[in-house]
A = this chain, B = another copy of it.
Amino acid sequence: MEFPSQLVERAVEEISRLPGIGKKTALRLALHLLKQPEDATFELSSALKELRENIKYCKTCHIIADTEECTCQNAYRDTSVICVVEDTPDVLAIRNTGQYNGLFHVLGGRISPMDGIGPENVKIDSLISRIKSDDQVKEVILALSATMEGDTTSFYITKLLKESGIKVTTIARGIPVGSELEFADEVTLGRSITTRTLFSQD
């Protein structure tokens, strides 16, 4: 694509590095910004810069936060449960359900030997030492993705916690609510039968 201006070309180049945004969309976004008041672009530009400059990761739970002491030690939380997730969006998703009020631990990825990611590249050591130093913790919920890498990570953590006497659970795999049985894949349907629960009318 031939651009009428070096400035536009550079902006398109940078915008199109973002995932899922191609050159055409990037050009549309750049031209959109040019039609908006100047402040719209300046606000966007400074929000991005400040995000990258000032973001912190909580040193306890590794959630993205504004300070190194995030709200994870909030007095209203149930400090006897830690939910282990892969990334910050998973924390938001679980919080949004309103069904969980415990602590979180963000691994920052999952064990994946194929991609060269070993246990030392994710925050598993930090999880174990956190649990060992805090005798309030009674349960660890593994909420990792239902893939080979997620399961490997779950097995690894379970093995490390075996001797500790802490209850290790995992979120239920099964038929999504509102979904028809006939469209479910065999593995999910099979697992929903082996891990069946008592029917309650609540």
Contacts and interface: CB of A to CB of B under 8 A. Distances in A.
Interface of A: 1-8, 10-11, 13-15, 17-20, 25, 27-34, 38, 40-55, 63-66, 70-71, 87-89, 91-92, 95-96
A41 B48 contact: yes
B55 A44 contact: no
The number of times this chain is found in the oligomer is 2
9 contacts: A2-B95, A5-B64, A5-B66, A10-B50, A15-B48, A27-B89, A30-B51, A34-B55, A42-B49
Cβ-closest 6 pairs across A and B: A41-B52, A45-B49, A14-B47, A11-B51, A14-B44, A45-B48
A5 to B, nearest CB: 5
A23 B48 CA distance: 15
A21 to B, nearest CB: 8
Nearest to A19: B32
Contacts of A95: 2
A33 B34 CA distance: 23
**Centre residue among A3, A4, A28, A46 by max chain B CB count within 10 A:** A4
Contacts of A33: 18, 48, 51-52
Nearest to A20: B25
**Centre residue among A38, A43, A51, A92 by max chain B CB count within 10 A:** A51
Contacts of A38: 52-53
Contact of A44 (B15, B43, B92): B15
Nearest to A37: B52
Contacts of A28: 19, 89
Contact of A51 (B8, B48, B70): B8
A40 B51 CA distance: 12
B41 A2 contact: no
A64 B11 CA distance: 13
Contacts of A44: 14-15, 17-18, 48
